A and B are shown apart, each in its own frame.
Chain A
Amino acid sequence: MLRFIQILSYGLLNGALYGLVALGLSLVFGVMNYLMVAHGGLIMLAAYTTFWAFFYTHIDPFLFILVVTPLFFIIGWILFKILFQSLMRFPEGEKIKNSLLISFGLLLIFSNLAILFWTADERAVTTVYSGKVLDVFGVRLPYIGLGGVAIAMIVIIALHFFLTRTYFGKAIRAVSLDHEAATLMGINVNKVCLVAFSIGFALAGIPGVITSLQAFNPAISFDLTNKALIVLILAGVGSIKGVLIGGFFLGAIEAAGVYLVGTPYREVFGLILFVLILMFRPQGLAGKRA
C-alpha cells in the first residue's frame, strides 16, 4: 500500500510539472493555432541555460527563474517576428501544418545544437537540497518535486489572474475564440499573437529551470514535447485548469504504469492512453477540441 502511495505521489509531483510543461504549448495553440512542437526543445535549452548559469555563478535555479522568464520572452518575440509572423495569414489547416513543420525543424535544430555544444551526456544541477526529501508518514516527497508543484501553482494562478482580470488578458482570450470578432473590438490581433507567443516561450523557460535539477540531456526535447502534446490532447484547448488537471492525470496514469508493469514502461502507458484518446475523444477530457 505504501509503495502504491509513494509511486502515486511521484506521479502527481511529475504531473504538476507536466502541466507546467504543457501550458505554453496550450496557450499558443489556443490563441493562434500554432502547434509548437519545438516546445520541448525550448525547455531543454532553458535547462542547459540554468545549468551553465549555476556552473559559473552558483545562482540558485529557483531564483534564476526570474532571469529565464524575461529572457525567453524576448527570444520568443524575436523568433515570432522572424519565422512565425508570416504564417498568420494562412487558413487554419495550413497554419497548423506549417507551424508544425517549422517547429519540427526547430526542435531538430535545438536538440542537435545542444549535442554539438554540450554533448549528449547527462547533466543535472546539484544544490544543497537536491537529494533531500520531506517525509510524510513514510512517503518520501523530494523537495525539488515540491518546489516544482509550488512554482506550477504560482504560475497558473498568475496566468489565471492575468487572463481574467486584465484587459490584455481578456483580449488574448477573445483572440483565441474569434480573431475577426476581436478585431471588431479594436484589438490588434497580430500584436496579441506576438505577445501570447512570447509568453509561450517564457512558459517554456520556467519548467526548463526545474528540469535542470534532475538528470537531463538533449534527448529530453522529444520526451517533453511528447508530454506536452499528451496533456494538450487530454485537456482540450482553452482551459488552464484543464491543463493542470491533464498534467496530474498523466502523472497518475504513468504511476499506474509503474506500479503495474514497472518503471521502463512508464511512458508507454501514457502514450497508449494518448493514442486511444486521440482516436476516440480528441476533444479531450475537459475542454474543447484541440
Chain B
Amino acid sequence: MKQFLLVIGIVICLVLVPMVITKAYILNLIILICLYTILSQSWNVLGGLTGQISLGHSTFFGIGALVFRYLWILGIPPYLALCGASISSLLLASIIGFPAFKLRGHYFAIGTLALSMIASITVQNIFPGVSFSPPEFLSKYSLVPIYYMALTAAVITLALVSALTRSKLGLALVSIREEEDAAEAIGINTFEYKVIAMTLSTLIAGLGGGLFSFYVASYYYYVPFELGWSFDPVLISFIGGAGTVAGPVLGSIVFVILKELFAISLGQMNVLIFGIVFIFTVLFLPKGLIGIMGMVRGVKKSQALLPKER
C-alpha cells in the first residue's frame, strides 16, 4: 500500500513538473528517461522475465517509429498514431518473431541480431532520406505535449509490466526462464507463453518507437533501426535488475544521466561505462542495482522474480 501511494505521489509530481519548470533541459531529461524506460521494459518482458535474450529489439522500435511518423503525417492524431505504431510492431513480430521461437537460448539471441541487421540495412536502402515531423507541429514546437505523451506511455508501460509480474502469467514466464524443460514437463505450453511475452514486448517496443518519432523532429529514417537501440536496453535492464519492474527504471535514470554528463565531451562514453558495469554485473551481481538495494533493505517482493542466485 505504501509503495502504491509513493508511486502515485511521484506520478503526480511528474505531471505537475511542466507547469512549474520551464527549462527545456529538465523536460528533455525526463522524456529521455521515459523513452529508455519504455524500451528497456519492452526488452525486460522478453529477456529479463522470460529469459529469451533478444539482441534485435531495434527492429520493433524502428517499425514503431516508422509507422508513427507515417500515420502522423497523414493527419492522424498522435495518441491514435501511437496505438497504430504499437500494433504495427506486433504485426511485424507475428510474421517473423513468432517463428523465431523455434530457436532456443543463444540461437534466439543471434537470430534476433541478424534480424535487426537485416532491418537496418533494408531501411537504409529503401528510405535513405530524412524524416520530418508534420510542419504544423514543427511551427509551434513545444516539449510539453511530448513530455505528457512520454509520461503517459511510461506509466502505461510500467503499469502493464507491474501487473504482469504480479500475475500467474508472470510466474509462468519466470518458470520458463529458470528451467524451460521442467516447465514443459509440468504442462506449461512454453511456446504459447513465449508468444504472449513477445506480444507484450513488441507492443511496448512499438510504443517506444512511436514516442521517439514524436519527440525527435527530424532524423534519418534508419536511425531508430540502429543497433544501439538493441543493445542499450540489454545493458540497462541487466544493470538495473533484469526481471523486475523498478530495475529498468533505475537503469534508465543512471544511463540517461551519464549520457548527459558525457554528451559534450566524449559522446558514447556512457555506453562504454555501462559495458564495463554490465560485465561486472553478469559476473558478480546477477540481480543488478535492485539486488544491491534489496540487500540493504531486506527482501522485497520483487526479488522473487529475480534470476536464480548463481
Contacts and interface: CB of A to CB of B under 8 A. Distances in A.
Q: Find out whether A and B make contact in their complex, taking CB atoms under 8 A apart as touching.
A: yes
Interface string B172-184: 0000000000000
B234 A226 contact: no
B230 to A, nearest CB: 10
A158 interface: no
Contacts of B122: 265, 268
A275 B106 contact: no
Bin the interface of chain A by size. Answer: 35 or more
Interface stretch (B21-29, B35-43, B108-116, B135-143): B108-116
Interface string B243-286: 00000000000000000000000111101101110110011000
A265 B125 contact: yes
Contact of A268 (B113, B118, B272, B279): B118
A193 interface: no
A271 B111 contact: no
Nearest to B267: A115
Given A112-B271, A115-B268, A278 B103 contact: yes
A35 interface: yes
A256 interface: no
A96 B268 contact: no
Main DSSP-derived SS at the B contact region: helix
A93 B105 contact: yes
Contact of A278 (B107, B124, B279, B283): B107
B105 A105 contact: no
Given A112-B268, A115-B267, A105 B106 contact: no
A229 B238 CA distance: 24
Contacts of A279: 99-100, 102-103, 111
A101 interface: yes
B137 to A, nearest CB: 32
Contacts of A274: 114
A109 B235 CA distance: 12
A105 B276 contact: yes
Most chain B beta-carbon contacts within 10 A, residue among A113, A222, A275: A275
A63 interface: no
Given A90-B310, A116-B269, A226-B114, A102 B106 contact: no
B149 interface: no
Given A94-B310, A112-B268, A105 B117 contact: no
Contact of A116 (B117, B125, B238, B266): B266
A100 B103 contact: no
Contact of B268 (A35, A116, A272): A116
Interface string A62-94: 000000000000000000000100100010011
B175 to A, nearest CB: 15
B125 A264 contact: yes
A108 interface: yes
B285 to A, nearest CB: 13
Contact of B117 (A104, A271, A278): A271
B125 A226 contact: no
B227 interface: yes
Interface in A255-281: 264-265, 267-268, 271-272, 274-275, 278-279
A96 to B, nearest CB: 5
Contact of B272 (A37, A116, A282): A116
Interface string A18-47: 000000000000000001010000000000
A96 B105 contact: yes
B283 A83 contact: yes
A49 interface: no
Given A86-B283, A100-B53, A275 B111 contact: yes
B282 A105 contact: yes
A126 interface: no
A98 interface: yes
Interface of B: 53, 55, 99-100, 102-103, 105-107, 109-111, 113-115, 117-118, 121-122, 124-125, 227, 231, 234-235, 238, 266-269, 271-272, 274-276, 278-279, 282-283, 310
6 contacts: A93-B105, A96-B105, A100-B53, A101-B278, A279-B102, A282-B107
Q: Which A-B residue pairs are the 10 nearest by beta carbons?
A: A108-B275, A109-B275, A105-B279, A112-B272, A105-B278, A264-B125, A271-B118, A101-B282, A105-B275, A112-B268
Interface of A: 35, 37, 83, 86, 90, 93-94, 96-98, 100-102, 104-106, 108-109, 112-113, 115-116, 222, 226, 229-230, 233, 264-265, 267-268, 271-272, 274-275, 278-279, 282
